[in-house]
Amino acid sequence: QKEVEQDPGPLSVPEGAIVSLNCTYSNSAFQYFMWYRQYSRKGPELLMYTYSSGNKEDGRFTAQVDKSSKYISLFIRDSQPSDSATYLCAMGGEWGGSNYKLTFGKGTLLTVNP
Amino acid sequence: GAGVSQSPSNKVTEKGKDVELRCDPISGHTALYWYRQSLGQGLEFLIYFQGNSAPDKSGLPSDRFSAERTGGSVSTLTIQRTQQEDSAVYLCASRASPYNEQFFGPGTRLTVL
């Protein structure tokens, strides 16, 4: 079993839809969780950073962490064509391990159609 | 402020040649990472520098890969005797201690013919 599983998609939605992106992980030692957005031929851009279970909201984006289920989600409300990108989940901060490393999912390719 | 910069943005080389990729981290960031991103493979950790500590080289795929960081700032990733399987996007990220967030550069797209 891979440490981080993320459905690669592709996911195609109409403009204005609510998008749900998810990752599962197997290592219960992960302490913090991030979502990155990567446009084609660009570097990943940090979108959300969370440290605990629960929800964190930033504008149209909500990050959700459920440590008991080892499951994280990113919700995008009122999706826009400019949200079309690959979304990468990442996690790190392993207790007793290399707590400075991030482990990434493979990314989900999202297209929002006007 | 300025973000992480990388050069060149694209590099095409012939099999067997050596290449050098450069990363300029965000000013004041003491931690620097190199990653490789191949199609369908996600981000693969290569090497980590933190201040004056010995780097974590555990992700380097072979001894053809090496990296250095001079003066705690600029870093160079060197690939010797390049192979076609080295073709990928090489990403650099930096981080300010004691924070966890990593900030990425635009990457160098390496193509080995």
pLDDT 10s digits, A76-104: 999 999 999 999 999 998 765 667 889 99
Beta bridge partners of B37: B43, B89
Beta bridge partners of B20: B78
Segment 78-97 of chain A within 8 Å of chain B by CB = 88, 90, 92-93
Residue of B48, B103, B107 lying closest to A100 (CB–CB): B48
* pLDDT higher than 90, residue B41: no
Interface residue A36 vs chain B (CB under 8 A): yes
Q: What's the maximum distance between 2 C-alpha atoms anywhere in chain A? A: 47
pLDDT for A95 equals 63
**Are the beta carbons of A11 and A108 closer than 8 angstroms?**
yes
Instruction: For residue B99, name the pLDDT band (cuts at 50, 70, 90).
Output: confident
* B42 to A44: CB separation less than 8 angstroms, yes or no: no
* A107 to B42: CB separation less than 8 angstroms, yes or no: yes
pLDDT 10s digits, B70-98: 887 999 999 999 999 999 999 999 999 88
**Are the beta carbons of B19 and B113 closer than 8 angstroms?**
no
* pLDDT higher than 80, residue A46: yes
Token couple for B107: 């990457």
**Are the beta carbons of B45 and B60 closer than 8 angstroms?**
no
pLDDT 10s digits, A1-28: 678 999 888 999 999 999 999 999 998 8
If you search the block for the tokens 């969370």, which residue do you land on?
A50
* pLDDT higher than 90, residue A29: no
pLDDT for B89 equals 97
∠ CA B34-B36-B37, nearest 5°, is: 140
Instruction: For residue B7, name the pLDDT band (cuts at 50, 70, 90).
Output: very high
pLDDT for B70 equals 85
First to last CA, chain A: 37
Strand, coil or helix: B41: coil
